[in-house]
C-alpha cells in the first residue's frame, strides 16, 4: 500500500513519502487539527493481518512512549483510521547519518558530538530496558540544527520481558520466522549468533557506527566480520 500526496487518514493529510523498511512505511503528513507536520508511520495492510507484525508495531509505540530524551525521536500517538494502523511521531528535518558520511569522513569534533549523542540516547533506552536492535546510520538523523535523533524502534526489545530470544526477522526484508533480527552489517555478535540480547549490545553497534564514520575511504569494513560471518555461515 503506497499512500499518495493528499490522502487523508483521520486528521492527517499525506504530503510526501519519507522512507520504508521491514516494519512500515513512513510519510510526511500534516496534522490538520494541530496545524503541524509529523512523521506518520503506516503498517502495510498485508502486515496488519499478521498478529505478530501488528504486535511488533504496537510494541514500537510502547517502547518509544517510555523514552523521553532529546536524542530519541518523540512519539505523539498510535492510532487506527479506516483499518489502517499508524504511528505519529516528531518530524525531524535533516539528513540521515548515512547520507552525511562522505568519502573524506567527518571532522573529529562532529564525530565526537555524534558519538556523545548516540551514547546518551542508548544509555537512556538501556535504563528503561529497551534495546533498539536495528541501530545503523540510516536510523540516525542529524537535524538541520545539528541535533542527533535515533529513529525507528520497530525491532526494539524490552529485555525485561520474559522471552529474551525473539529473533525472527531482518529489518531490510519482510521475511519469515527464523531469520536473525536486525541489519547484519550493524549487528552485535550476540545478535548475529542469536544469543541473549543484553543492554550492552546496542553500545557495541553504536561503537561500530563511530568506527565507520571515521573510516573515510574504507567505509565498508566491518570490525568483527570474520568471527561473526564464519560462525553463522560456516
Q: Which domains does the chain have, with CATH numbers?
A: 8-89 (3.30.200.20), 94-233 (1.10.510.10)
Active site residues: 134
Edge-to-edge order in the sheet of strand 8-9: 8-9, 12-21, 24-31, 36-43, 84-89, 75-81
Torsion sign (Cα): 193, 22, 173, 71? negative
- Which residues partner with 59 through β-bridges? none
Q: Does 209 or 62 have the greater pLDDT score? A: 62
Alpha-carbon distance 132 to 139, whole Å? 10
pLDDT at 201 over 50: no
Greatest C-alpha distance within the chain:
56
What pTM value is reported for the model?
0.73
Q: Are 154 and 56 in contact (CB under 8 A)?
A: yes
CA–CA distances in Å: residue 197 to residues 4, 6, 165, 166: 38, 42, 7, 9
Q: Does 11 or 110 have the greater pLDDT score? A: 11
What pLDDT was estimated at residue 194?
53
| Strands 140-143 and 84-89, bridge-based pairing | unpaired
Alpha-carbon distance 95 to 99, whole Å? 6
Residue in this structure with the C-alpha cell 498478529, named with its chain if needed: 51
b/e burial code for range 172-195 (CB count within 10 A of at least 16 → b): eeeeeeeebbbbbebbbeebbeee
The predicted model gives 64-91 an average pLDDT of 93
* % of the chain at pLDDT higher than 70: 67
Amino acid at each position: 500500500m503506497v499512500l499518495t500526496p493528499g490522502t487523508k487518514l483521520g486528521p492527517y493529510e499525506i504530503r510526501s513519502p519519507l522512507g520504508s523498511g521491514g516494519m512500515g512505511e513512513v510519510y510526511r503528513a500534516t496534522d490538520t487539527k494541530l496545524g503541524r507536520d509529523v512523521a506518520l508511520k503506516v503498517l502495510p495492510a498485508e502486515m496488519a493481518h499478521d498478529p505478530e507484525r501488528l504486535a511488533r508495531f504496537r510494541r514500537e509505540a510502547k517502547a518509544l512512549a517510555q523514552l523521553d530524551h532529546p536524542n530519541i525521536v518523540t512519539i505523539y500517538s498510535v492510532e487506527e483510521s479506516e483499518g489502517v494502523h499508524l504511528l505519529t511521531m516528531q518530524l525531524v528535518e535533516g539528513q540521515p547519518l548515512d547520507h552525511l558520511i562522505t568519502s573524506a569522513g567527518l571532522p573529529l569534533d562532529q564525530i565526537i558530538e555524534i558519538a556523545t549523542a548516540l551514547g546518551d540516547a542508548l544509555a537512556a533506552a538501556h535504563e528503561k530496558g529497551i534495546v533498539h536492535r536495528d541501530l545503523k546510520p540510516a536510523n540516525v538523523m542529524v537535524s538541520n540544527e545539528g541535533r542527533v535523533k535515533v529513529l525507528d524502534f520497530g525491532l526494539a526489545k524490552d529485555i525485561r520481558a520474559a522471552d529474551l530470544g525473539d529473533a525472527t526477522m531482518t529489518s531490510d526484508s519482510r521475511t519469515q520466522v527464523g531469520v536473525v533480527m536486525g541489519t547484519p552489517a550493524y549487528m552485535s555478535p550476540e545478535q548475529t549468533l542469536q544469543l541473549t540480547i543484553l543492554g550492552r549490545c546496542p553500545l557495541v553497534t553504536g561503537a561500530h557506527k563511530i568506527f565507520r564514520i571515521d573510516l573515510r575511504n574504507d567505509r565498508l569494513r566491518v570490525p568483527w566480520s570474520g568471527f561473526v560471518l564464519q560462525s553463522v555461515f560456516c
